Amino acid sequence: MDLSVVIPIKDERDNLRPLHEQLLRALEPLGLEFEIILVDDGSSDGSAEVMAELAAADPRVKVVQLRRNYGQTPALRAGIDCSSGDVIVTLDGDLQNDPADIPELLARLREGYDVVLGWRKDRKDALWHRKIPSWIANALIRWVTKVPSQDMGCTLRALRRQAAEELSLYGEMHRFIPVLVHNSGHRITQIPVRHHPRRFGKTKYNLSRTIRVLLDLITVKFLDAYLTRPMHVFGTGGLLCIAAGFLTLFVVILGKLLWSEDMTGNPLLLLSVMLTVIGAQFISMGLLGEMIARTYFESQGKTAYMIRRTINLDHPTRSKQRAA
């Protein structure tokens, strides 16, 4: 299989047939062997029936029906796991992404990139409800992660299979795929793609996702910078707290010696004790984190690095599998 198109679906009944037609118009002229994987993420509007009809009429359409609504990230992971293409293209099922952009994504992959990301440069969404929160979130993510992607949330993207399989997709991490592939050392680029107003159905996004993005951003930054050295972040905080505690205690003692102030009635003494205890807790958390990190890598045979290729040498992972 040359190409797998993975599309998570949640209540997109009226969009499915036009989407199928647009995909065929974009993919058939390429002369590639392709499959269209529709992942039903707990739809309740009759989308499952339409997907079954499309699959019955076109064997290239494959349906993965989840037991309930798990969210876009698990649905995307399920589609990737069930795909068989050398290249995986993902997009939304709401017709806002344009399948006509897929050939350009594939052309850029042939230039040597591992991942080609879409950029909704002329986005057709509500200004206050969608575009402004997205601009703010993109700027924040770029600043924290140092990944120069203009549009983190565009679902239209093309990935080589190795890059797709290496994605750690949990929770709602689909928003951070550009960050994840960048941190894995893959060669990425981003190109402008078309974006259309939603014609049918209702958007699944609202302003509450901004809070979730901030929380997920903290997770991504920690996993990228401190997964293999958690003591560096917790230990630094612990030492700073302990230092502040001793400094506060010095001020209390100085006040006692110079101005005969009552130490037991001075709130700075309690602050000193509290900062020292918090510092000790931070260092303890760092030690626990170090133990957990070692268990994570050693118990699963994981490594703290990614190999692009080897010459005249079997891939270490394959060697381990054969030995097992």
Pull the structure tokens for residue 276. 């020292």
Q: Are 1 and 33 in contact (CB under 8 A)?
A: yes
The reply to whether 100 and 164 lie within a common domain is yes
Same domain for 211 and 274? no
Tens of pLDDT, residue by residue over 128-140, are 667 777 788 878 8
- Residue 189, pLDDT > 80, answer yes
User: Residue 165 is part of a domain; what is its CATH number?
Assistant: 3.90.550.10
Q: In terms of domains, do 178 and 34 share one?
A: yes
**Closest-CA residue to 209 (of 158, 152, 164, 168):** 152
Asked whether residue 311 carries a pLDDT value surpassing 70, the answer given is no
Pair (126, 189) in one structural domain: yes
Q: Residue 106 in contact with residue 158, Cβ under 8 Å?
A: yes
pLDDT band at 317 (very low <50, low <70, confident <90, very high): very low
Do both 259 and 193 map to the same domain?
no
Say which residue, 213 or 208, is predicted with more confidence: 213
What pLDDT sits at residue 308?
A: 56
Say what the pLDDT of residue 303 is. Answer: 63
**Residue 109 clears pLDDT 60, i.e. is over it:** yes
Nearest-angstrom CA–CA distance, 173 and 212: 10
Q: What's the pLDDT at 319? A: 41
- What is the percent of the chain with per-residue pLDDT over 70, rounded to a whole number? 86
Domain that residue 140 falls in = 3-225
Which residue, 225, 260, 283, sits at the end of a domain? Answer: 225
pLDDT of residue 68: 87
Please, which residues have CB within 8 angstroms of residue 312's CB and are 6 or more apart in sequence? none
Strands 157-160 and 115-119, sheet pairing: antiparallel
Q: Could you tell me if 208 and 248 lie in one domain? A: no
For tokens 């793609």, the residue is 193
Same domain, 111 and 173: yes
131 with 214, same domain? yes
Same domain flag for 192 and 241: no
Stretch 84-98: mean pLDDT: 92
Helix 13-27, helix 102-109: angle, nearest 10? 50
Same domain flag for 145 and 114: yes
Joined together, the tokens standing for residue 212 give 């979730």
| Domain endpoint, select from 225, 258, 281 | 225
Summarize pLDDT for 16-70 with one digit per residue, the tens: 999 999 999 999 999 999 999 999 988 888 899 999 999 999 999 999 988 888 8
Closest CA to 90 of 185, 1, 177, 204: 177
Q: Are residues 213 and 241 in the same domain?
A: no
pLDDT at 58: 92
Per-residue pLDDT, 159: 95
pLDDT digits (tens, 9 = 90+) for 143-154: 888 888 888 888
Number of independent structural domains in the chain: 2
Residue 185 scores a pLDDT above 90: no
Q: Do 212 and 261 sit in the same domain of this protein?
A: no
In the chain the first and final C-alpha atoms are separated, in Å, by 29
62-68-70 Cα angle (round to 5):
90
The DSSP symbol for 226 reads: H
Q: What is the pLDDT of residue 269?
A: 86
Q: How far is CA 113 from CA 14, 120, 149, 165, 236, in A?
A: 35, 20, 15, 16, 38
User: Does residue 4 carry a pLDDT above 60?
Assistant: yes
Q: How far is CA 65 from the centre of its chain?
A: 22
How much is the pLDDT for 321?
A: 39
The residue from 196, 225, 254 where one domain ends is: 225
pLDDT greater at residue 126 or residue 284: 284
- pTM here? 0.74
Per-residue pLDDT at 5: 96
